[in-house]
């Protein structure tokens, strides 16, 4: 009876934790879904302005960041599988690679935003207000808000993964108690999914 209790309680906690993460993901999808809807309406009303503004973005950096996030989703999924196979060393390595890829994504985004700032393009800048149309102002406003929110989610995801990595190293997260790592993976896949929508909307559709 004692053994059954020991096995059932962690299982119950794991399911409750996963349900909580799915509910959180649902609220995040509602948030970005609303922003995507706003973007679609403004783009429909200002197609030419959005096309011109989109040409100001660096497609190469956007594409590289897309590949980086896709690979990072793969590495964190592989880390969960390796944990289930009791390969602690590989799990730690894959989590470290995921964190490194997330950091590279943020560095690329930093330089991309830096170029925009050098050109006087940021919300409320004189260049944006005086020299661009209302549609272009709307485009860059949405660009900074939506990619900024996404970057914030990247940072939060990195913190969660670092916590999971620390607990894997200490043996607290293991094949019998994988819920924290699984939730970190779910969150990271959400971050990846959001970017899969952001990339074509801002970088590809001209």
Per-residue pLDDT tens for 135-170?
999 999 999 999 999 999 999 999 999 999 999 999
Are 118 and 127 contacting, i.e. CB atoms less than 8 angstroms apart? Answer: no
For residue 58, CA distances in Å to 61, 64, 80, 115, 199 come to: 6, 10, 34, 10, 11
Contact, 168 vs 185, CB < 8 A? no
Bridge-partner residues for 174, per DSSP?
177
Q: Are 150 and 191 in contact (CB under 8 A)?
A: yes
Place of tokens 């299982």: 11
Of the pLDDT bands very low, low, confident and very high (cuts 50, 70, 90), residue 5 is very low
d(C-alpha 68, C-alpha 199), whole Å: 13
Can you read off the two tokens belonging to residue 52?
């011109």
pLDDT at 21: 87
For residues 56-74, give the mean pLDDT. Answer: 96
Structural domains of the chain ordered from first start: 2-204 (1.20.120.80)
Q: How far apart are CA 6 and CA 57, in angstroms?
A: 55
Percent of the chain topping pLDDT 90: 80
* Spatial contact of 105 and 65, defined as CB atoms under 8 Å apart: yes
Band (18; pLDDT cuts 50, 70, 90): confident
pLDDT over 70 percentage in the chain: 94
What pLDDT is recorded for position 13? Answer: 61
Provide mean pLDDT across the span 58-85. Answer: 96
Judged by DSSP in three states, 157 sits in helix
pLDDT of residue 149: 97
pLDDT at 1 > cutoff 50: no
CA distances from 59 to 104, 127, 140 (A): 17, 22, 15
Q: What is the pLDDT of residues 97-130, one digit of tens each?
A: 999 999 999 999 999 999 999 988 888 888 777 8
d(CA 116, CA 20): 38
Distance of alpha carbon 198 from alpha carbon 117, whole angstroms:
20
């Amino acid at each position: 009876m004692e053994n059954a209790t020991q096995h059932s309680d962690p299982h119950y906690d794991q399911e409750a934790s996963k349900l909580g993460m799915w509910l959180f993901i649902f609220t995040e999808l509602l948030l970005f879904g609303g922003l995507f809807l706003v973007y679609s309406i403004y783009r429909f009303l200002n197609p030419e302005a959005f096309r011109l503004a989109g040409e100001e973005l660096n497609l190469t950096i956007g594409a590289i960041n897309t590949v980086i996030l896709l690979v990072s989703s793969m590495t964190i999924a592989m880390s969960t599988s390796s944990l289930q196979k009791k390969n602690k060393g590989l799990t730690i390595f894959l989590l470290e690679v995921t964190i490194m890829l997330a950091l590279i994504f943020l560095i690329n985004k930093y330089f991309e935003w830096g170029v925009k700032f050098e050109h006087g393009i940021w919300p409320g800048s004189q260049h944006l207000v005086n020299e661009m149309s209302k549609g272009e102002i709307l485009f860059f406003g949405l660009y900074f808000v939506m990619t900024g929110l996404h970057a914030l989610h990247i940072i939060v995801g990195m913190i969660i993964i670092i916590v999971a990595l620390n607990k894997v190293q200490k043996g607290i997260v293991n094949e019998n108690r994988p819920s924290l790592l699984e939730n970190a993976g779910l969150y990271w896949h959400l971050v990846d999914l959001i970017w899969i929508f952001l990339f074509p909307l801002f970088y590809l559709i001209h």
